[in-house]
Amino acid sequence: MKKNVLIIVLVIGLTGWQCSRMDSRSDLKMAFQNNLEKINTGIDKISRSQGYQLLTVSGDLTKSDESFQDSITLALVAGIYDFQPDTIHHYKHMYYPYRLFKKSGESEHMIVNLPKLLIFHPKYLHFYNPKDSIPPNDFTINASDYHLYYNWWNSYDYRLTAGFTLENEDIGNMDISSESSSYKDHSYTAKYNFTENYSISTSWQMGDTSKSSFALTDGDDILLKESSVFVKTGYRQHEKQYTLTIGNIDIVRSTGIDSIQVFLDGVLQSQAAVKITDSSDTTGTICHKRDIQLTFDDGTTEKLSELISPALTKLRTLIDSLHSMYFAENIVDYIAVCIYYNNH
């Protein structure tokens, strides 16, 4: 009788262990699919927001490039300003022939009210025509932190923290920090918080050891994050470590480790097979040249670029927009310098 009971216990234990092992294997595939669904949902919501439209504003403004090589602090441009152009042509500065903004109040911030047309179509801001009709000031930039320090020796320090409202509705906020002490030492971080609780951020640091990363988050939860560490050897940089986080899954490739490691909730998945590919010999990311192919225990294979397309295209646009600082440089900086020149 005791022998039969022992056999039954062993059978039940073995069955439970096999089921647990199978569940562990299937958990990785299920988690991968669930996490990718959250990424696609997040990018879809972001792409339909006014914040996305703001962040991806673009346009050729090379004709109005100006050679501003001075420094501006928030104190020099603090106040409340309304777009109220003076139609009298001034020759004080060739790049700012018209006074576009009139100070209407005091504030420790730089608060600017202007038509949304000038925001989403910045050519109307840079190439003001006094014959044009003036739309209502329905867009507000509220910069609580701002400074632009620059000199000729590849040294500068830039900071912008600003919130944005369209027709009195919050459409998100932006935070940018960039500094350089020489042509080879440069650091940069940028983040945009959308009103849908999502945020996109990117950072990079150049030097003998260089780091770069981007992240898509939903509140405090990481939906997608990619980070790389490069070390300089001679005149070339080599990737020392690459980490891709997809929800609760981490894919890690490091020098000195033969295989690419996959972790689920911090636990190494020894049976998972991963292939990281680049479409060229140069280093890249999943946003451009790199792709991730993961093979599960059941033999099925999933490629990341296919599973998050067309969200991947929109993600590239967001990351490129943050890197280029187009909105900050061509709208916020242009307004700040315009106010500075007209006030001083």
Are 177 and 166 in contact by the 8 Å Cβ rule? The answer is no
Asked whether residue 28 is assigned to any structural domain, the reply reads no
Determine the pLDDT at residue 95: 59
Counting as low any pLDDT under 50, the low residues of the chain are: 2-3, 5-25, 64-65
Per DSSP, the three-state class of 117 is helix
* Cα dihedral 203, 205, 209, 211 in deg (nearest 10): 10
Residue 244, in any domain of the structure: yes
Task: Quote the CA–CA distance of 121 and 58 in Å, as a whole number.
Answer: 8
Residue pointed to by tokens 């490039």: 65
Amino acid at 321: S
Inter-CA distances, 116 with 148, 267, 311, Å: 24, 49, 27
Q: Note whether residue 269 is domain-resident.
A: yes
Domain extent at residue 129: 46-343
- pTM of the entire predicted model: 0.85
DSSP labels, 277-329:
EESSSS---TTTTEEEEEE-TTS-EEEHHHHTTTHHHHHHHHHHHHHHTHHII
Query: Got the DSSP string for 7-63?
Result: HHHHHHHHHHHHHHHHHHHHHHHHHHHHHHHHHHHHHHHHHTSHHHHHHT-----GG
pLDDT digits (tens, 9 = 90+) for 282-317: 556 887 788 899 888 788 888 888 888 878 889 989
Task: Give the per-residue pLDDT at 267.
Answer: 94
295 located within any domain: yes
23 occurs within a structural domain: no
Our count of domains for the chain comes to 1
Residue 181 lies in a domain: yes
Question: Quick check: is 39 in a domain?
Answer: no
Measured CA to CA in angstroms, residue 260 lies from 51, 56, 292 at distances of: 37, 35, 11
Handedness of CA 309, 315, 317, 319 (dihedral sign): negative
Angstrom distance (rounded) from CA 227 to CA 229? 7
Q: What local confidence, expressed as pLDDT, does residue 71 receive?
A: 84
Q: Got the DSSP string for 241-281?
A: EEEEEETTEEEEEETT-SS-EEEETTEE-TT-EEEEEESSS
141 burial level (CB within 10 Å; 0-12, 13-18, 19+) = buried
Q: What percent of the chain has pLDDT over 70?
A: 83
Residue 143: the pLDDT is 98
Q: Is 190 among the domain residues? A: yes
- Residue 45: count other Cβ atoms within 10 Å of its Cβ: 15
Give me the amino acid identity at 218. Answer: D
